[in-house]
Amino acid sequence: MMQKWLNMHKLVGPPVLVSMIGGPASLKFENMTDEEVKSLVRERLTTLFGPDAESREIVKLLRSSWKSTVYSGLGNSYPKVGNDISMWNTLSEPLCPYIYFAGEHTIFKGIGTLHGAYNSGIRAAEQIMSELCEQRARRRERRRQEEEGRGREGRKERKKKKKIKLKE
């Protein structure tokens, strides 16, 4: 239990540690009280960082309840052998004009991780702020107008050739 630790300080500012638990241990973890969890965290951190960690205060404790949350079923994504990276490119594309996607399942670098979810949120925000969908709509409109213009030019050229043939 609590085998993976992430130091989130550089991402969020204050000193924040994240621990991930999977498998049967996660159900046991969900059934523990906050005091039991704090005690376990102190024990693990003391093992990792020595006796100084034991005296440090745990200011705030947040934890998920994925196993008991009805619609999550303790799920997260993972790539299967043979998956193509283009799958994640597809999942990261917005459905313009109003739907943008974020989550650890939409980003190849960091799939199934907290930092992947975070980075995908940043990516989606950048897509929104850069007006990605609006830019694409403008490009499509320009192409349509160009094609329409070429069509008009082609019709003019055909009319000109017809006139030349009629004169002959």
pLDDT(31) > 60: yes
What distance, in Å, lies between the first and last C-alpha atoms of the chain? 92
Structural element, H or E, at residue 117: helix 114-129
Say if pTM beats, i.e. exceeds, 0.75: no
Confidence of residue 165 (pLDDT cuts 50, 70, 90): low
Residue 70 lies in a domain: yes
pLDDT at 168: 61
Tens of pLDDT, residue by residue over 60-71, are 998 887 777 777
CB contact at 8 A, 41 and 53: no
**Residue 155: inside a domain:** no
In a domain, residue 43? The reply is yes
Token readout for 55 is 């005296």
Mean local confidence (pLDDT), 150-164: 73
pLDDT grade, residue 32 (50/70/90)? very high
CA-CA-CA-CA torsion sign (69, 74, 76, 82): negative
How much is the pLDDT for 121?
Answer: 95
Q: Across residues 86-99, what is the average pLDDT?
A: 90
CB of 121 within 8 A of CB of 145? no
Q: Is residue 141 part of a domain?
A: no
Q: What mean pLDDT is reported for the chain?
A: 85
Which of the four pLDDT bands, split at 50, 70 and 90, describes residue 1? confident
Residue 168 belongs to a domain: no
User: Which residues pair with residue 4 across a beta bridge?
Assistant: 20
Q: Which domain holds residue 58?
A: 1-75
- What three-state secondary structure class fits 159? helix
Domain total of the chain: 1
Q: What is the pLDDT of residue 73?
A: 60
**116 and 88 in contact (C-beta within 8 Å)?**
no
Domain membership of residue 32 (yes or no) is: yes
- In three-state secondary structure terms, 132 is helix
User: 63 in a domain, yes or no?
Assistant: yes
Q: What is the pLDDT of residue 113?
A: 84
